[in-house]
Amino acid sequence: MYIAHTIAELRDHLAAFKRPAFVPTMGNLHDGHLALVKQAKPLGDVTVASIFVNRLQFLPHEDFDTYPRTWDSDCEKLSAAGCDVLFAPDEKALYPEPQTCKVHPDPALADILEGHFRPGFFIGVCTVVMKLFTCVQPRVAVFGKKDYQQLMMIRHMVRQFALPIEIEGGETFRADDGLALSSRNGYLSKDERAEAVQLSKTLQAMAEAVRAGERDLAAIEARAMQTLAQRGWQPDYLVLRRRADLQAPAVGEPLVALAAARLGTTRLIDNLEIEAPSAL
């Protein structure tokens, strides 16, 4: 696996390829990331991953400084998963001057849910992804569906700027008990890790209520919030939205349940696409 630390090294190395397939990450890689790399592999003539913990997408009180950085094991895992090129710039290499020119995604999508609770988060994400795209110039890029709103935002940005990049979504990778894999799961204590499965269980319960034909979506959401709050979580949101734009759904539209909640000091997110019964 070739490792590029600067944009110039990356561009030199990629000049020989026509169809890079790209997986951007912030490192601390788990099987979910590696599944994205494996998904990317047959889609291009060279598989590129990046590791860059992007300060722009963290609020001042968030975990930028403590975000787990696990360079050696990340390199081993990427190499074993068949990654050909790793782009790992430091902050000076990617942001040689303050990144004052930023991508401001559509507020209708960027300021709700994650964007509401983490103001500016999607400006940081879209800005770094745009910059990584101009460095790697991929033909295809793979993003996990676990970050459902992020994936939608990137698709929208790519469409609006007519970037010649296909965006693929990768299925959420789950532990045996159903907990979605996330770098932040490493923050959980043993007891919290056992409790954490309740997030996906609550999403499942929301899906079951919808499938059973319950029509009062607000009541399903309120029940889910209450379930987690009673177990000691601090939920930010548990909502049922239409998949097309994450707004309130009309009757019969395909739904997704989305959740964000804090367990102790760890904030977890998850989501579940729901097949609505035709009667709904």
User: Catalytic positions, please?
Assistant: 33
Q: Nearer to ligand PAF by C-beta: 150 or 172?
A: 150
Rounded least distance, CB 144 to ligand PAF, Å: 7
Selected binder of ligand PAF within 54, 182, 198, 202 (CB under 6 A): 54
Q: What share of the chain is helix, strand, coil (3-state, %, to 5)?
A: 40, 20, 40
Counting contacts by CB under 6 A, is residue 263 touching ligand PAF?
Answer: no
Which two tokens mark 235? 């939920």
> Which residue in 126, 154, 138, 152 sits closest to 85, CA to CA?
138
d(CA 156, CA 167): 10
Residues 13-32 that bind ligand PAF (CB under 6 A): 24-26
Counting contacts by CB under 6 A, is residue 195 touching ligand PAF?
Answer: no
Q: Is 88 strand, coil or helix?
A: coil
Q: Nearer to ligand PAF by C-beta: 14 or 129?
A: 129
d(CA 261, CA 220): 16
Q: Nearer to ligand PAF by C-beta: 22 or 233?
A: 22
Instruction: For residue 221, give the H/E element and its range.
Output: helix 217-230
Rounded least distance, CB 208 to ligand PAF, Å: 29
Counting contacts by CB under 6 A, is residue 172 touching ligand PAF?
Answer: no
Q: Nearer to ligand PAF by C-beta: 26 or 140?
A: 26
Counting contacts by CB under 6 A, is residue 260 touching ligand PAF?
Answer: no
Q: Nearer to ligand PAF by C-beta: 146 or 241?
A: 146
Rounded least distance, CB 128 to ligand PAF, Å: 5
Counting contacts by CB under 6 A, is residue 225 touching ligand PAF?
Answer: no
Counting contacts by CB under 6 A, is residue 74 touching ligand PAF?
Answer: no
Residues 97-156 that bind ligand PAF (CB under 6 A): 125, 128-129, 147, 150
Sheet holding 20-25, edge to edge: 2-4, 85-87, 46-51, 20-25, 140-144, 166-170
β 46-51/85-87 pair status: parallel
| Residue 221: other Cβ atoms inside 10 A | 19
Counting contacts by CB under 6 A, is residue 36 touching ligand PAF?
Answer: no
Q: How far is CA 237 from CA 36, 157, 203, 223, 226, in A?
A: 27, 25, 11, 12, 11
Q: Are 140 and 44 in contact (CB under 8 A)?
A: yes
Give the total of residues touching ligand PAF (CB under 6 A). 10
Q: Which spans of this chain sit near ligand PAF (rule: CB under 6 A)?
A: 24-26, 54, 57, 125, 128-129, 147, 150
